[in-house]
Amino acid sequence: MTTLLTIPQELRDEIYTLVLSATLPLPSAASFATPREVYEQNFRQIRGGSCNRYTLLSLLINSTALLLINRQINNEVSSLISREKKAQKLVYLLDCVILNEKCIYPTWLSIPFLSDFIGKVYVDFRIDGRCEDYHGSAWTGGDGGPGDMVYSLFDLLQRFLERGPHFVGPQRQNKINVREFILNVVEWPQEVLASTDHDNEEHVAQRGWRRWRNRPADVAHQIRLWVCLLGSRSQSPEKYHINERVDRIKVLLDGNVVNVVNYKENIGPAHNRAALKHIRGIGWRGTQS
């Protein structure tokens, strides 16, 4: 009788790899009813994080079950994980639902194993619902700068680098380093986009402001504008020093590249200088440190 331990080692490694790279299904709207809000007294020391709703449930680490089966499998999986760490090709998958222009619900879909270095972190942003009140939208910045939604996005990235996948855990002694964050905004179906165009035209004529401010293209544009400035110590007066732990951030709209910021080579190519000019043109200077 053939069992897992009687097949060749190469085949077992293939099975281990499949288990480690397994992906959870996308969360349903009902899952947002589970406890997710986290409160800290100094949660907004400067700014950011007010939109994030982190889960308080335990994380599913794909390697955990394998390591607990028996000693032989533990040794083999540990050896495989060690080789994967040396290759520096580890990939994490994160799903973020932006609900009603007010809240971000992050859910990990795949964490193969824990490591201080991750090759790529894929983050999908799925936009659901809208806020009817113009001033109630977290995308709106009162000083012409980024709204709380943008600050919350960077707080989420910063917390991952400092605390690991469990965003509300204690700060790690060894901070996480990431070669590339890939921030992908998932586009809506064409028929939905067409209806929002019509809504915007009527709403602008009646009230002077667009009814839909959270369309995927608009969200990708906001992230593109701020990802260079708020991620850099040299430009940002805020607490987000992502450039110290991340080589590159790539912004995508439905899989198509919108912007690439390479912190290790040059944070100010032409498109990023143009973004800075645009931001200063709308009157935002940020808070002086």
* pLDDT value, residue 170: 86
Is the pTM of the predicted complex or chain greater than 0.85?
A: no
* pLDDT value, residue 180: 95
Q: Please give the distance of CA 193 from its chain centroid, rounded to a whole number.
A: 24
Residues of the chain falling short of pLDDT 70: 29-30, 33-48, 134, 141-144, 189-213, 229-240, 266-289
* Longest pairwise C-alpha distance within the chain: 75
* pLDDT value, residue 194: 61
Provide the token pair at 256: 């198509």
* pLDDT value, residue 41: 39
* pLDDT value, residue 124: 96
* pLDDT value, residue 188: 76
Question: Which residues on neighbouring strands pair with residue 110, listed in sequence order?
Answer: 93
b/e 103-115 (16+ beta carbons within 10 angstroms → b): bbbbbbbbbbbbb
* pLDDT value, residue 234: 46
* pLDDT value, residue 195: 64
